[in-house]
Amino acid sequence: MTVKPTCSLLLTLLLAASGTAQLQTNGYLKGLAYVNPHSGSYERLGTRLQTRFTVDWQDRMGFFAGINYEIDLAESPSDTTEQSPSDRIEIKGNYLLIYPVEFYLDLHTSFMDLRFGQQYIFWGSTDWINPTDVINPWDYENLSSEIEDYRLSVLALRSDMYMGDLAIQAVLVPRFTPAAIPLPPGTIKHDRLLKVDQAQYGLRLTSYLGATDVSLSYFKGYDPNPTITAGYDPSALSPMSMEATYEPYTMAGWDFVRSINAFAIKGEGAWYGRTDSGGDDPFVRNSSIKTVLGLDYIPSDRLSFNLQAVYEGLLNYDEDEEQARLVDLDLDRMMTAPNRATYSLSGLVSWQPAKYVTGQVVAVYNFKDGDALAMGFLLWEMADALHLTLGGVFFQGPGGSPFGRLDEEDKLFIEMKAAF
C-alpha cells in the first residue's frame, strides 16, 4: 500500500502533537444507502467512519483534522474520485477510500489568526443561494445532510484580523477545485493547471453595527461551474464535440443581515466580471449581477421559515448576436442564447413535529428556466448519540438548464449515524 503525502503529513503531525499537548478525538460511524428512483440502482451503499483530531498548544497554535474512511459497495473498482486527494485500498474487490474532509493548522497572535490547509470558508448571509459564497464549490452529485456531501473543502491560507467593530479576512487558494456536477457524455474536461499565476484570492470586510452586520467581498478566481462549448464538424468521424472549461472571473459583492425580534432581514448581491466583455460569444459566460433578498421568521423554538427572492441579470449582452452565431455554426437546434434576466424563489422550512424528531425542506424554483431543486430530510434522534435520517433530493427542468441537466440524478437516501 502506498501512503500519499497528505496522510503521511497527518500521521507525522499527530505523533508529534501527542508528546507536547493533549490530543482530543471524536467522530461518527454511519451506514448509508442512496438509491436513484429512475434506475432503481444504488448510487452509494456502504459505511463511513469519520475521525476528528484536535490539538491546542497553549492557545497559540492549533491543529484539526477530520478524516473519512469509506467503503462503498456501489462503486466500481474502475471508478475514480476527482474531487479530493485520497488513498484507495482494495479489499476483496471493493475499495476503502481514505481522504481528509478538513485538515489545517491554526496560528493565533495578538492581532491576527492564520489558518492553512484543507478547509471550508463560507461568505454571505443568505441561505442556500449566496452570490458572494464562491470559495467552496458545490457537490451536486452527493447532496445530503452532511456538509462534506454537498460542499467541497479547498486548500487555502486564511487570515482574520479584528479591529474593533471591523473584521478583515484575506484568503489565498493556490489550487482550483471544480464543482462536482455531471457533464454530458463524451465531454472533454479541461482542468486548470496548478500554477502560481492561476491561484485564487479574495478579501472580505465585515462591520458589526448593533443589530446589523454588513460585509463587502472581493474574489478573483475561476468559475467552478463548467462552461460547455459545442462544436460541429460533419466531415469528422465524431461530428459533434463538447468541451468543458472553467473560465476566470472577478466577483465584487456585499451582504447584510438585521435582526428584529422574531424576524431577520437578509440581503446579498454580487457583480461577476467575465471574459465575454462584448456580450456576443455564445460559448463564454457574460458578466452579470445577482441579488438576493430574504426574510427569516422564527415563531417558536420548533419552527422557522426562510423565503428569498433572487434576481440574476446579464450585462453587456447582445442576445441577437449570440443566437446568430449559433445559427451560423448550425447549433441553434441544440443550444439557445441564455436569457437576459432570470428570477428565482427559494424557501427553507425547519420544524420539530415531535420530541427528538426534526425535519427540513429546501426548495428553489427558477421562473425563467422553469427548473427546480427540492431537498428534504427527517432526522430522528433515537438516542443521545444515535440518529436515523431519511431524505431525498429531486431535480426538475428542461434540458440544458442548471437543474435540468441533473434531471436523472434524483436520489432517496437513508443514513444511520452513531457519534462518539
Whether residues 117 and 90 share a domain: the answer is: no
CA 119 to centroid of chain Cα atoms: 12
Whether residues 71 and 115 share a domain: the answer is: no
pLDDT at 82: 44
Confidence of residue 210 (pLDDT cuts 50, 70, 90): confident
Whether residues 405 and 303 share a domain: the answer is: yes
Whether residues 62 and 170 share a domain: the answer is: no
pLDDT at 116: 97
Decide if 299 contacts 318 (C-beta within 8 A): no
25-51 mean pLDDT? 94
Whether residues 76 and 157 share a domain: the answer is: no
What is the domain-level CATH number for residue 399?
A: 2.40.160
Over the Cα atoms of the chain, what is R_g? 23
Q: Examine the pLDDT at 77 and tell me if it is beyond 60.
A: no
Return the amino acid letter for 51: T
pLDDT at 419: 96
Cell of 272: 461577476
pLDDT at 3: 43
pLDDT at 36: 95
Confidence of residue 229 (pLDDT cuts 50, 70, 90): confident
Stronger pLDDT, 57 or 20, i.e. the higher one: 57
Q: Examine the pLDDT at 335 and tell me if it is beyond 80.
A: no
The model scores a pTM over 0.95:
no
156-163 mean pLDDT? 96
pLDDT at 99: 87
Whether residues 215 and 71 share a domain: the answer is: no
Whether residues 180 and 60 share a domain: the answer is: no
pLDDT at 269: 97
Whether residues 28 and 145 share a domain: the answer is: no
Domain count, the chain: 2
Stronger pLDDT, 209 or 177, i.e. the higher one: 177
Cell of 378: 427527517
Phi, psi of 327 (to 5 degrees): -65, -45
Confidence of residue 223 (pLDDT cuts 50, 70, 90): very high
Domain that holds residue 20: 1-108
pLDDT at 194: 74
Give the whole-angstrom CA distance, residue 298 versus residue 210: 20
pLDDT at 339: 74
pLDDT at 110: 87
Whether residues 368 and 243 share a domain: the answer is: yes
Whether residues 76 and 182 share a domain: the answer is: no
Give the whole-angstrom CA distance, residue 411 versus residue 34: 6
Whether residues 399 and 300 share a domain: the answer is: yes
Give the whole-angstrom CA distance, residue 105 versus residue 109: 14
Decide if 412 contacts 35 (C-beta within 8 A): yes
Nearest to 335 by CA among 344, 326, 346, 343: 326
Stronger pLDDT, 22 or 28, i.e. the higher one: 28
Confidence of residue 60 (pLDDT cuts 50, 70, 90): confident
Q: Which residue's C-alpha cell is 464562491?
A: 134
Return the amino acid letter for 316: N
Quick check: helix, strand or coil at residue 326? Answer: helix
Confidence of residue 382 (pLDDT cuts 50, 70, 90): very high
pLDDT at 243: 80
Confidence of residue 395 (pLDDT cuts 50, 70, 90): very high
Question: At which of 82, 108, 134 does a domain end?
Answer: 108
pLDDT at 254: 98
Whether residues 132 and 265 share a domain: the answer is: yes
Question: At which of 58, 85, 108 does a domain end?
Answer: 108
Question: At which of 89, 108, 127 does a domain end?
Answer: 108
For 336-375, what is each residue's pLDDT tens digit?
667 788 999 999 999 999 999 999 999 999 998 899 999 9
